[in-house]
Structure 1
Amino acid sequence: MDAALDALSQRVGAFLAARGWRLVTAESCTGGWVAETVTATAGSSAWFDCGFVTYSNDAKCALLGVSPATLARHGAVSEATAAEMARGALDHSDGDVSLSISGIAGPGGGTPDKPVGTVCFAWARPGATVQTATVQFDGDRETIRRQAVIHALEELLRRAT
């Protein structure tokens, strides 16, 4: 892992450990990269519970409880789906805080409404309103995915209060 991701993971770990929280992730376009980043940090078992890689819509429904109606109405790459992924990750784990990511990393798959680089995020805590965001990243597939990992973790530090 590169130094920037390592440093970010260390910050996330310290943040979560100080609060006694355990993180759970629900990832689609990043394919588990957030979970890999945080578990590369020694001692992460104290603050990381588990990660769900739900690439297909069927997996989003079966493993996280995402509503097929939400997917039909908004699509997999939407704040509505990301919110249900984040909430479902909490509901199906022992996590205290969750983050989710669903996007179009490319090189194909984009549309005029949702071009390549569109990534939707959500962050959730039990009993709190799920926070969501959509970001448009530039670059190739790996660059978009890496930016999504960084954004998800940096915003976790900012939003999880």
Structure 2
Amino acid sequence: MSPHRNETVETLARRIVERLAKSGLTLTTAESCTGGALACTFATIPGSGEIFQGGFVCYSKRAKERALGVSPVVLGKDTAVSRRVAEMMARGARERMDCDLAVAITGVIGPEADEDGNPVGLVHSAVAARAGNMDHLEQRLEGLAPETLRDEAILGALRLLAAALDRRSLVPRADEGG
């Protein structure tokens, strides 16, 4: 990873941790193609122990099914690298950790297309909030080296999470039975 890329990812992750801590919100991660690098990013930030609950690394379809509750029907129909799978990963991680937010990443880092023909550089990220909000990002990062592609996938997921934090309705209000 280039020093500039690290700084960008780390700076954004640090801001997210600070915002979550200030708001009293908790976070978990669910990752496939990034292999735990997003969780590692959060875990190395001072103060993350207050907000970061842990993460799931579910590389195979079977792991996505068993650990996160991703539907085998959806995996078969949409493939493991799809909007619906990213959203199911985020929802499953959030529910299993009983936290306020979960961010998920699934994609193809390479060097070749995956078993379903998804191209190198296709990445889907999702953020699930306790209030039921769901955000999604599709990235097409063709032509990048695997390490750069991984960094860009993480950066995209962090930007998606930061945008979700900008919304006001992330957790149900107490008077909504929450």
Aligned to 1:85: 89
Aligned to 2:12: 8
RMSD, aligned α-carbons = 1.7
Is 1:71 matched with 2:61?
no
Q: Is the contact made by 1:122 and 1:131 (CA closer than 8 Å) also made in structure 2?
A: yes
- Which residue type is aligned with residue 92 of structure 1? R
Measure the CA separation in 2 of the matches of 1:28 and 1:153.
15
Moved over 4 A (4+): 110-113
- Which residue type is aligned with residue 66 of structure 1? V
| Unaligned residue ranges in structure 2 (runs of 5+) | 168-178
Q: Is the contact made by 1:77 and 1:103 (CA closer than 8 Å) also made in structure 2?
A: yes
Query: Which of these two proteins has the greater Rg computed from alpha carbons?
Result: 2
> Equivalent residue of 1:92, what SS?
helix
Measure the CA separation in 1 of the matches of 2:12 and 2:91.
24
Q: TM-score under structure 1 normalisation?
A: 0.93
Of 44, 48, 70 in structure 2, the residue corresponding to residue 40 of structure 1 is 44
Is 1:141 matched with 2:138?
no
Measure the CA separation in 2 of the matches of 1:70 and 1:112.
13
Measure the CA separation in 2 of the matches of 1:27 and 1:155.
15
> Equivalent residue of 1:77, what SS?
coil
Q: TM-score under structure 2 normalisation?
A: 0.85
| Unaligned residue ranges in structure 1 (runs of 5+) | none
Aligned to 1:108: 112
How many residues of Structure 1 are paired with residues of Structure 2 in the alignment? 161
Measure the CA separation in 1 of the matches of 2:76 and 2:111.
23
> Equivalent residue of 2:33, what SS?
coil
Measure the CA separation in 1 of the matches of 2:81 and 2:160.
18
